[in-house]
Amino acid sequence: MRVKEPATTVIFIRHGTTDFPEDMVYKGDNGPTLNDEGRKLAERLGEWIKGENIAAILVSPSRRTVETATPIAKTLELEYKLTDELRERSFGIWEGLTFAEIETLYPEGLGKWKRDPISYTPDGGESIIDLQKRVNDIVQFVIQEYKGKKIAIVTHMGPIRVAVAEALKIPLTNYRHLQIQPASATRIDYGITAANLIYLGTLPGGNRP
C-alpha cells in the first residue's frame, strides 16, 4: 500500500490573455500588457485562489505576469516576489519577429530549429534545455525554502511546460504536447520520492487550488 508523502505544493499560473499576435515571438523586454479579457481572467484567478493558505507568490518580471499576479496577491494579502528565473524563454535575435519574417531573415537557423527544437539556440537566446535548467533551479529552491507549504508561481507557458516535463520525467522532445491555456493553473505536489501532477491547465471554476 502506498503511503502518502508530505509534499510541497506549487501552483503554476500562466498569465492572462494579451493582444500580442500569435505568430510573433515575444520580445525579451517587459512585453505586452493584458487585454480586457486578460484582466478579467486575472480577477477570476484572484477569487478562485481566495482563502487558500498560500505561503508565497513568485512572479516573472514581465508586465503580463505582474498584472496577472496583482489581484491574486491582493486577495491573499501577500507581497509577490519578482523572480527573473521565471521569465519566458529568450529567442535572441528572433524576438519581435513573426515566423514568416524569421523564415525570410534567418532561414538556416529556422531549419536547424525545426530539425532540433530542443537543443537549437537562436543567437543571443536560449534552448529549451537552457530554459528547463533555470526553471528547475528555481523549483528546487522553492521546494527547499518552502518545504511542506503551498506556493503560487505566476509565469509563462514555456516555463510551465518544462516544469511539468521535468516533474513527470516526460521526454523534453514532447514538451509542446502540454497545452497550457492563458490564466490557467497547473498544480504539482513535490514529495520526497516523486512529484505528482494534480491538475494541468485548469481554468478558474474548475479544481480547487
Task: Tell me, yes or no, whether 83 lies in a domain.
Answer: yes
Residue 112 resides in a domain: no
Q: Between 84 and 203, where is the model more confident?
A: 84
pLDDT-based confidence at residue 207 (cuts at 50, 70, 90):
low
The arithmetic mean of pLDDT across residues 183-201, rounded, is 94
Summarised one tens digit per residue, pLDDT across range 79-94 is 999 999 999 999 999 9
Lowest mean pLDDT among 115-119, 149-153, 203-207: 203-207
| Cβ(152)–Cβ(70) below 8 Å | no
The answer to whether residue 100 sits within a structural domain is no
- Arithmetic mean of pLDDT over the chain: 92
- Kindly state whether residue 111 falls inside one of the protein's structural domains: no
Q: What does the pLDDT average to over 167-187?
A: 95
Q: Tell me how far apart the alpha carbons of residues 167 and 153 are, in angstroms, rounded to a whole number.
A: 15
pLDDT tens profile 132-157: 999 999 999 999 999 999 999 999 99
Question: Quick one: average pLDDT of 101-120?
Answer: 94
- The range of the structural domain enclosing residue 195 comes to 8-89+127-202
Q: Please give the single-letter amino acid code of residue 161.
A: R
Say if residue 13's pLDDT is above 90.
Answer: yes
Distances (CA, A) of 53 to 14, 156, 166: 20, 23, 26
| Domain presence at residue 190 | yes
Within a domain: 178: yes
Q: In which band, very low, low, confident or very high, does the pLDDT at 1 lie, cut at 50, 70 and 90? A: very low
Q: List phi, psi (to 5°) of 18.
A: -130, 175
Contact 85, 111 (CB under 8 A): no
Strand pairing partners for 154? Answer: 13, 59
Number of domains the chain is built from: 1
Nearest by Cα to 60 from 145, 128, 158, 162: 158
Does the structure show a pLDDT above 60 at 3? no
* CB atoms near residue 84 (< 10 Å): 9
pLDDT at residue 206 greater than cutoff 60: no
Question: Domain containing 51 — which CATH number?
Answer: 3.40.50.1240
Q: Yes or no: say if 132 and 165 are a contact pair by the CB < 8 Å rule.
A: yes
Say if 18 falls within a structural domain. yes
Q: For the chain, give the percent of residues with pLDDT over 90.
A: 84
